[in-house]
Amino acid sequence: MNPMIRKELRQRMRERRGWMLPSLLPPRPGRRGNLRLLPHHGGARPIRYSGVYRRGGSVSDPRLRSTRAVAATGPIFSAGSITIEKEQRTLAGLLTSLLASAQILWGKFVSSVLLLLVTSLPVLSMAFAFGGIGPWEIFSATLTTVIILASMSAIGLYCSSAFRRSVHATAVSYAVVAISVVTTIVFFVRLQLYESAHSQVAHAGDTWYHIPLNIRAPMYVNPFFFLTASFAPPKQLYPAWITCACVFIAIGALAVALTLRNLRRSGEL
């Protein structure tokens, strides 16, 4: 095993936040009238208020709560990974060790992903208790959760490599999460309302794929939309789920490349 993974996991689980944060995110009973984001194949509106939908992924669904857990705890676990080394003045010694920059980054990345996965999967497993959820839904939701948390961890690590203090890196990481979750929904709703007001054709019965791409585009970087897209049957994952997966993987890969560049520059100082 990479020694950085072993060291990071041991250090993180000795901290209070390593075991306190997961316990602060218990599953809560569902509520009716929640906001649902679902590109359903049967012609449902992409955003609407509805009751608890067994397979459709209402906000009370444990699978969506797992994404909320990832969004809430992701920056805390990853944004301070490198800044803590700067604050304790151990980064220089770490970079001059036998470990390469890629090995250091890989160890911190894997430790963050493992902790977030441990945090979210117990909440995700609660979906079995509500019934109507099969192995495919659990597998697709788990895979989607892994992609989301890997992308968010990569963004947190980049912020950690770009700032000198953990508080600044965590704040910027949470700002990125807020933009991806809240701002994308606001842009989507406003663009859709503007299109409906200026269009001569009624869109009441249109499906998700009949909405123009320039209006749908902001939702492809929304983690909640990405997860609800995974609830579709296997033959209907394209293009919504595939597009979201490619976007999140590309963002994560870019963040990893930028973080590695920052680490190498720090080693040259």
Compute the distance between CA of residue 109 and CA of residue 220 in angstroms, rounded to an integer: 24
- The DSSP H or E segment spanning 48 is strand 47-50
| C-beta neighbour count of 74 within 10 angstroms | 29
Place of tokens 């994952």: 237
pLDDT in tens, 69-87: 667 777 777 888 899 888 8
As given in the structure block, the two tokens for residue 98 are: 């036998």
Percent of the chain with pLDDT over 90: 22
Query: In this structure, are residues 49 and 35 in contact, taking their beta carbons and an 8 Å threshold?
Result: yes
Paired tokens of 242: 């595939």
Amino acid 61: pLDDT:
59
% the chain with pLDDT above 70: 68
**CB distance 30 to 60 below 8 Å:** yes
Select the more confidently predicted residue: 177 or 44.
Answer: 177
DSSP 132: S
User: For residue 41, is pLDDT > 90?
Assistant: no
What is the structure's pLDDT at 157? 93
| Cα distance between residue 18 and residue 117, in whole Å | 12
Mean pLDDT of 134-138: 78
Can you state the percent helix, strand and coil of the chain, rounding each to 5?
70, 5, 25
pLDDT tens figures, 105-117 = 998 898 888 877 7
State the pLDDT at residue 9: 78
Provide the whole-model pTM. 0.77
pLDDT one-digit tens code per residue, 231-256:
878 777 788 899 999 999 999 999 99
Q: Is the pLDDT of residue 188 over 70?
A: yes
φ and ψ at residue 47, rounded to 5 degrees = -135, 125
Of 179, 147, 142, 174, which Cα lies nearest the Cα of 244? Answer: 147
